[in-house]
Structure 1
Amino acid sequence: MPMSARSFSRAAVLAAAVALIAGLATPAHADTTTQRQRDFAAAAAEFGVPENVLLGVSYLESRWDTNAGTPSTAAGYGPMHLTDLREAGAATSHHDEGSEDPRGDDARPALHPKAGPTTPPQGLQTIDEAAQLTGQKAETLRTDPTENIRGGAALLAKYHAGKTDWYDAVAQYSGATGDAAQTFADEVFDTIKTGVARTTDDGQQVTLAATPNTTVKQHPGNPANVECPRSVTCESVPAPYQELPNDDYGNHDLANRPTSQKIDHIVIHDTEGYWDNVLDLAQDPTYVSWHYTIRSNDGLIAQHLPTKDVAWHAGNWYVNAKSIGVEHEGFAEKGTWYTEAMYRSSAKLVGYLARKYDIPLDRAHIIGHDNVPGTVPSTIAGMHWDPGPYWDWSHYFDLLGAPLGGFGRPGSSLVTIDPDFAKNQPVFTGCDTAGQPCAPRGSEAVVLHSAPDETSPLLKDVGLHTDGSPSTMAVSDVGSRVATGQQYAVAGVSGDWTAIWYLGQQGWFHNPRNARVAKPAIGWVVTPKPGLATIPVYGRAYPEPEAYPANVTVQAITPLPYTLSAGQKYSSAGTVGSEYYSATTFDVADHVVVKGKLKYVQIQFGHRIAFVKADDVRLLPAF
């Protein structure tokens, strides 16, 4: 079939662009791992966009990945994050699902809010405009990386029309306005200034060469009433502290942290809803609360509560009273991916908070909602599991300046889970349809087996699967799964397989010499004291009964339904004091922080953290 005039013109432009950067036309045997680099060069030449600008924008959206043609948390597709809400669809808030009580306090009636479905924002539909500019169908732009890059270049060129420089076009590409758009553009041009190179999720080698003389505009600063670093854009969207009928109140508790209570954890969540609807929920006095929400497309941060106050977010009152909750616009259940703009903004915020409150930058203290333990046996099955197995903890900690793994000697009795995110692709199910495989993609999760054999059953989690059945590969099932950055004591080695202690069992994972998914670590482990055959494990570190004043109801110290037996070892995150924040009335004068003499040790017991009494265990060095 003869070429059309349009096809011939496009082919000529592509050839000229490649010749421009390579000095000659690309031969037929060209390295296929650099095709994406050539696609960026060709699209930049075709639409008159500086190649480094096109690369910089794409990096801040997707890090040049394709993500198997699946949508981001902001309905964006492909390396250029072209948005298509028709295809991505809507969702409901994860706080509406399951049986978890977000507050997680036995002293107050359980809170089970119902918010209903969220409405996608109308602005997330750039793929139609890209389709008009390129002559390609939306489906092609979603799934074909080459055409997706052309679509993004065409949009940038259109946004640049009539402008004096590319900064404003980049800001417009973010989909944001005002300071948030400027922050996105600043991040893009800062990336251009420093340069970056990486291998993408589909094996493409892409490089953005550093341009040291690139100008980055100074951020104008944030409102005085927000707690945020200057390098991000924050706004205040306050959550109400309001008295309600029937002696009720919402949607958080006033406190005076860290003077009254030390803040030990930052909990990473995803919203399972779009930005506008989630912010509406944060302002509902009958609903739940958290401290911050971060927007996907540009990294804008909204602060809802002062960090001194206690939010109702993690499903465990002890953790709530000792943590800061950070929600990220996203959908763990759908298996969507998180934008680089969000990762960077979140890492800057969390790094700032960790420094402010002296919170260690490790996976025992920067935890996901999926790492928060159930409070008592009956609450385990209902605990939430966001941000899910597709949150890139390794990259996140790189951005925090606290890389994970690689700090122990070979043969150490302690390991840090640290798979190659792009190459590690467990076949989870249920992202879109129950029981159906999720799209293949990189993951931070490593699955455990009951024997050193891929065909052996997964481990049993008697709290999550009360009928005694093994765990499953459902994306929401964390019963036989470890996560990047978590540390575990080695229980055995068999060929290319390593076993760790996990929920009272030996959990085996494939750990071949040429593709390690766990690295030697240095730290401390706990084991039962001599003479104790088993010791109880707890989901919260509550005080002894004698510590409570007469006007405060004593909280039961209830063990979880697991066994920690003699000879087993678990990674320690340090000793913590026992504490309970009694806050069940609207009148702050009635609130009391109860601190006991009882001491606990936080351990990595399964996928979730847990606590054991310090008097029950020995602390041993592991190296």
Structure 2
Amino acid sequence: MSRRPLTLFATCALAAGLLGAVPAQAQAADAQRQQTFAAAAHEFGVPENVLLAVSYLESRWDYNAGTPSTAAGYGPMHLTDVREAGTGGTHHDEGTEDARGDEARPALHPQAPPPQAPPPNLQTIDTAAALIGADAKVLRTDTVQNIRGGAALLSSYQHNSAPDAKDWYGAVARYSGADDTAAASAFADEVFATISTGMSRTTDDGQRLTLNATPGVTPAREQLRSLGLKPSAPQPGTECPKTVACLSVPAPYQELPNNDYGNHDLANRPQSQKIDYIVIHDTEGYWDTAMRLIQDPTYVSWHYTIRSADGQIAQHVPTKDVAWHAGNWFVNAKSIGIEHEGFAAKGTWYTEAMYRASSKLVGYLAHKYDIPLDRAHIIGHDNVPGTIPSTIAGMHWDPGPYWDWSHYFDLLHAPLTGIGRPGSPLITITPDFATNQPIFTGCLTPGTPCAARGSGSIVLHTEPSDTAPLLKDIGLHPDGSATTMGVSDVGSRVETGQKYVVAETRDDWTAIWYLGQKGWFRGTHATSPTFGLVATPKQGLATIPVYGRAYPEPTAYPTTVPAQPVTPLPYTLSAGQRYSVGNILGSEYYSATTFNQADHVVVKGKTRYIQIQFGHRIAYVKAEDIRLLPAF
């Protein structure tokens, strides 16, 4: 349906008329965005609840400091502009990390091809700008014009004037940008579920919005047939919940020259090894690039990818098999890796459509494999430890400080607020994501401050002072240089949902044990008391070693499998220090160094390990070295 763009004067007049019709208390500064949605919906003939719900599924109505999403989307309506956000690169060819992380094989550092131009559906801002007669730059930074542009774009997808929300199913599905019916309908179904249940929240810039519930809306799903999208045939072999759109894009298990093979290992999990972790990644590139790379036998692998704009999921490796994704072979052998389209720094926020699809997938997998829904088992790539001292500095740091762990776990129906008595020595990190805005550097240019926006990260200091230096991470900075506020520097940073032991308090400052040091942060409101187990060295031990993997003792290996070294990391865990316990593990090593699966062996030892939250990353200590104590 074509509509003539209104002039800015007419738009202002219309908005003034609408504002004049509502009670004075609704005209407060924190209600302006609500009125902007109402005005844009009226201007372009879109049902207001449809416009609000579409925006919520894209951005949760946030401004995000004018920065692009992980899929080049700007503003509350997620209008995409790859020209401005950039074409991006790839994930596993960045840095020095060996994605496989197994010293029994040569390090794997694949070189990805140059990124190709993203598809046209990632350049919607030009169409929206033309529809309202504005410049694309304005739509990136001005929330009023961004919402108008999104409303105009949504309206242009509607073939007739329809006042009822149910008749906008096809337009909503088209707005997703999906090219197949399953993904488009999954997005539209989430939008209409939001319309049915309603939503209310305060945005990252203090705007209060409400979408009143409209139960009983039965959308016209038959409209999908008129969109010309690719039909979605059943996808045999995919392991996904029924409520998401799930493709099969297999990663090749293929023999290569020089006794090499790629790009994952066959296994028989969970019969052979229990799956203990789900690792959250981001692709550092766009969907199309990820789909090309996962099908390259010379590249690396992961189990799933999730698309940003609409939550489309693709499965690449069966969960019974081991993908090469986390840079630590012990973690790889006991985890499922999920990549999310986008960038940890340059694109600094993730869409609600992606969060919802990911949480449904993780909830399904956690139930299937009995994985606890906590931050000791649902971890970021940035929480995976280096295997030995030389690999720590090259470990990846995605999904980064702008991934909203609190919201993610709310969607998993497993809130991260700790349960414990006030004054408990064990605390869960629980800052308010929207108002917690540490200023990192290097999102666009090294050393340049990033835009101020919500984060789940809290930065630690050596003393209870905002001007005190940050802690040192001798593994991340082996030359002894200081930790920085660089967005990729996790050496003095804790994250939402992680648990730590209080070492000291002074006024409104709290110190926790972190990498063998006391790390200070301001504000008890950023934590919740928690109960659980903590680990401390046994009496008589001045220090104990810390490990990046839980490998067996040498005598556990059969003669056909070379014993893998159990090498301590370069940190000190001293008497009197205490760390949160995340898991109690047996020692295991999956020997899989040849293409023939018959040669693969799971070696299990008698040594037992305790997983602890040691720094930003998890670590392992031997059970024989520590005492387990309750914390309430």
Superposition TM-score, scaled by structure 1 size? 0.96
Amino acid at match of 2:604: K
Task: Render the CA deviation track for 1:276-330: whole Å, top value 9, x for unaligned.
Answer: 1111100000000000000000000000010000000000000000000000001
Task: Render the CA deviation track for 1:370-429: whole Å, top value 9, x for unaligned.
Answer: 000000000000000000000000000000000001311111100000100010011100
1:491 match: 503
Kindly, what percent of the aligned residue pairs are identical?
71
Amino acid at match of 1:49: V
Task: Render the CA deviation track for 1:87-122: whole Å, top value 9, x for unaligned.
Answer: 111221121111110000010000001104322223
Task: Render the CA deviation track for 1:53-80: whole Å, top value 9, x for unaligned.
Answer: 0000000000000101111111110000
User: What pairs with 1:132-531 in structure 2 (closer than 5 Å)?
Assistant: 132-162=130-160, 165-177=167-179, 178-215=181-218, 222-512=234-524, 516-531=525-540
Distance 1:216 1:572 in 2: 48
1:92–1:116 Cα contact (<8 Å) kept: no
Distance 2:200 2:512 in 1: 35
Amino acid at match of 2:107: A
Amino acid at match of 1:210: A
Structure 2 unaligned residues grouped into runs of 5+: 225-231
2:227 match: none
2:228 match: none
Task: Render the CA deviation track for 1:568-590: whole Å, top value 9, x for unaligned.
Answer: 00000121000000000000010
2:404–2:456 Cα contact (<8 Å) kept: yes
The Cα of 1:163 is off from its aligned counterpart by 7.8
Task: Render the CA deviation track for 1:217-272: whole Å, top value 9, x for unaligned.
Answer: 88999523100000000000000000000000000000000000000000000000
Distance 2:502 2:56 in 1: 38
Structure 1 unaligned residues grouped into runs of 5+: none
Of residues 171-180 and 259-268 in structure 1, the stretch that sits farther from structure 2 once superposed is: 171-180
Superposition TM-score, scaled by structure 2 size? 0.95
1:222–1:234 Cα contact (<8 Å) kept: no
Distance 1:100 1:216 in 2: 47
Amino acid at match of 2:135: K
Distance 2:569 2:530 in 1: 28
Distance 2:154 2:589 in 1: 54
The Cα of 1:5 is off from its aligned counterpart by 9.3
User: What pairs with 1:522-561 in structure 2 (closer than 5 Å)?
Assistant: 522-561=531-570
Distance 2:217 2:197 in 1: 9
Task: Render the CA deviation track for 1:167-197: whole Å, top value 9, x for unaligned.
Answer: 0000000111311010000000000100010
Per the alignment, do residues 63 and 5 of structure 1 end up closer, same or farther by CA in structure 2, a change over 3 Å counting? closer
The Cα of 1:161 is off from its aligned counterpart by 2.2
1:222–1:233 Cα contact (<8 Å) kept: no
Per the alignment, do residues 500 and 533 of structure 1 end up closer, same or farther by CA in structure 2, a change over 3 Å counting? same
Amino acid at match of 1:31: A
Of residues 222-231 and 474-483 in structure 1, the stretch that sits farther from structure 2 once superposed is: 222-231
Distance 2:119 2:485 in 1: 32
SS of the equivalent of 1:610 reads strand
Per the alignment, do residues 129 and 527 of structure 1 end up closer, same or farther by CA in structure 2, a change over 3 Å counting? same
1:614 match: 623
**Do structure 1's residue 50 and structure 2's residue 59 form an aligned pair?**
no
1:70–1:336 Cα contact (<8 Å) kept: yes
1:221–1:233 Cα contact (<8 Å) kept: no
2:6–2:132 Cα contact (<8 Å) kept: no
Of residues 198-207 and 85-94 in structure 1, the stretch that sits farther from structure 2 once superposed is: 85-94
The Cα of 1:334 is off from its aligned counterpart by 1.3
Task: Render the CA deviation track for 1:345-376: whole Å, top value 9, x for unaligned.
Answer: 00000000000000000000000000000000
Distance 2:7 2:76 in 1: 25
Per the alignment, do residues 446 and 7 of structure 1 end up closer, same or farther by CA in structure 2, a change over 3 Å counting? closer
SS of the equivalent of 2:92 reads helix
